């Protein structure tokens, strides 16, 4: 990467008001920002030279001062079921992952918000790697831009790598979920502007129900999010009581269930949301008994909640195994019988380690300061 490139402003990091200010600084009229966004997000243009309805000198000025730069692709993998996984460069030594899941009626892009994660959930592959840094807004938005433009190229038949590329399904990004690597609410400052670009009519123009932020339960940030965004909220609950949840999702020790649930209902009230999705990973013999299901139903009954049961996806070194299918069905039935909506997430992309909780990337941990093998301190908190 040349020095000039790093000095240019990456337009993928600027929501519309910031882009208007930037355009004004370049001596152009603010409405040019909408034209620019139209090129970048609707037409997938990455080169200013292509933007034929912009004045020639403005394009030249943009080419000097700005760029449209998504993360660099290290590699891609294609699953037999059509799922695509990208490994994206964070820096010379590190990388993060993104997954596209085609289904008949939608195409879901699962994006990352951090390089690694500091929350240390005991059943998650990302947690094992530790945390390095937050992704920038441009890196978050750049994932969606990159996938959308690549899929559009494939659809146009321009990418030979995609030839015969798996079963059919929606091959456009219609839904975005922040369920890749990282805790999005621990990177609030960069995630919120990205959400704005996803929803903006001149950006990706996604409806707020098609953008889902998944959190492990950072309670103060859920209240903050309610003030600035109205995307769909998913919460990784995974256990119906504090003792078990603290073991699986350690942030629960700081923000227990009795604080987490009111924050969720508050979010819905403020945002006129339909319901919160509670994710619940099915761990064999750990959190999957009928008694757990009944306790969960008691917590959620009467509230606008849906439960999404996620069969555990194993990864090297994990001590957990997946609950057998009949156990998952029984759990679901217990919830349904008690009037709590519940679905089972279909596992996709397992053959390329692209399923929930399997994203690992390449992360240099800097949350723990080690001396030889001994941990001597914690350097970064979420």
Q: Which residues are catalytic?
A: 97, 356
Q: Quick check: 118 binds ligand SAH (CB under 6 A)?
A: no
Q: How far is the CB of 147 from ligand SAH (least distance, A)?
A: 18
Question: Is the distance from CB of 90 to CB of 135 less than 8 angstroms?
Answer: yes
Among 14-22, 47-55, 67-75, 309-317, which window interacts with ligand SAH (CB under 6 A)? 309-317
Q: Quick check: 10 binds ligand SAH (CB under 6 A)?
A: no
Q: Which of 201, 225, 204 is nearest to 213 (CA)?
A: 225
Nearest residue (beta carbon) to ligand SAH: 357
The encoded tokens of residue 254 equal 């700081």
Q: How far apart are the C-alpha atoms of 295 and 318, rounded to whole Å? A: 26
The encoded tokens of residue 148 equal 């959308």
Q: How far is the CB of 256 from ligand SAH (least distance, A)?
A: 16
Q: How far apart are the C-alpha atoms of 172 and 154, rounded to whole Å? A: 10
Q: Quick check: 357 binds ligand SAH (CB under 6 A)?
A: yes
Q: How far is the CB of 20 from ligand SAH (least distance, A)?
A: 32
Site string for ligand SAH, 232-251 (x = CB under 6 A): ----x---------------
Decide whether 38 or 246 has the Cβ nearer to ligand SAH. Answer: 246
The residue within the footprint of ligand SAH, chosen from 19, 98, 179, 296 (CB under 6 A), is 179
Residue 69, burial from CB neighbour count under 10 angstroms (0-12, 13-18, 19+): buried
Q: Quick check: 309 binds ligand SAH (CB under 6 A)?
A: no
Contact positions with ligand SAH (CB under 6 A) in 200-219:
214-216
Q: Which of 120, 114, 100 is nearest to 190 (CA)?
A: 114
Q: How far apart are the C-alpha atoms of 338 and 42, rounded to whole Å? A: 45
User: What does the angle CA 211 – CA 150 – CA 355 come to, to the nearest 5 degrees?
Assistant: 55
The encoded tokens of residue 314 equal 């194993």
Q: How far is the CB of 341 from ligand SAH (least distance, A)?
A: 17
Ramachandran bin of 285, using left for φ above 0, alpha for ψ from -120 to 50, beta for the remaining angles: left
The residue within the footprint of ligand SAH, chosen from 58, 123, 131, 331 (CB under 6 A), is 123
Q: Quick check: 279 binds ligand SAH (CB under 6 A)?
A: yes
Q: How far apart are the C-alpha atoms of 1 and 15, rounded to whole Å? A: 25
The residue within the footprint of ligand SAH, chosen from 312, 334, 342, 353 (CB under 6 A), is 312
Q: How far is the CB of 125 from ligand SAH (least distance, A)?
A: 6
**Helix extents (H) in 200-316:** 219-228, 242-248, 257-271, 290-300
Residues that bind ligand SAH (rule: CB under 6 A) add up to a total of 16
The residues that touch ligand SAH, with contacts defined as CB under 6 A, are 121, 123-124, 179, 183, 214-216, 236, 279, 281, 310, 312-313, 356-357
């Amino acid at each position: 990467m040349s020095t000039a490139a790093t000095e240019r402003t990456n337009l993928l990091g600027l929501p519309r008001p910031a882009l208007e200010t930037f355009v004004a600084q370049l001596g152009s009229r603010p409405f040019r920002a909408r034209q620019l966004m139209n090129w970048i997000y609707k037409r997938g243009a990455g080169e200013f030279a292509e933007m034929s309805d912009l004045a020639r000198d403005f394009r030249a000025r943009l080419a000097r001062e700005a760029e449209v730069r998504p993360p660099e692709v290290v590699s891609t993998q294609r699953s037999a079921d059509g799922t695509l996984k990208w490994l994206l460069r964070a820096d010379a030594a590190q990388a993060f992952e993104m997954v596209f899941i085609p289904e008949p009626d939608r195409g879901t892009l699962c994006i990352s918000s951090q390089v690694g994660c500091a929350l240390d959930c005991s059943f998650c592959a990302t947690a094992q790697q530790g945390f390095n840094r937050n992704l920038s807004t441009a890196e978050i938005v750049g994932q969606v831009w990159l996938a959308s433009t690549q899929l559009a190229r494939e659809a146009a038949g321009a990418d030979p790598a995609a030839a015969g590329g798996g079963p059919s399904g929606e091959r456009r990004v219609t839904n975005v979920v922040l369920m890749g690597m990282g805790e999005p609410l621990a990177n609030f400052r960069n995630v919120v502007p990205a959400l704005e670009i996803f929803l903006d009519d001149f950006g990706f123009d996604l409806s707020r129900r098609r953008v889902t932020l998944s959190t492990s339960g950072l309670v103060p940030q859920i209240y903050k999010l309610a003030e600035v965004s109205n995307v769909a909220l998913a919460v990784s609950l995974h256990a119906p009581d504090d003792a078990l949840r603290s073991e699986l999702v350690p942030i629960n020790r700081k923000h227990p269930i009795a604080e987490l649930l009111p924050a969720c209902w508050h979010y819905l009230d403020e945002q006129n949301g339909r319901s919160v999705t509670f994710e619940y990973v099915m761990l064999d013999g750990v959190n999957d008994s009928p008694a757990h299901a009944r306790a969960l139903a008691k917590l959620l009954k009467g509230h606008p909640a849906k439960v999404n049961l996620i069969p555990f996806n194993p990864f090297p070194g994990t001590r957990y195994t997946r609950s057998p299918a009949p156990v998952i069905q029984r759990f679901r039935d217990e919830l349904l019988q008690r009037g709590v909506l519940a679905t089972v997430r279909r596992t996709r992309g397992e053959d390329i380690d692209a399923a929930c909780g399997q994203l690992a990337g390449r992360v240099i941990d800097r949350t723990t300061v080690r001396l030889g093998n001994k941990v001597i301190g914690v350097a970064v908190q979420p």
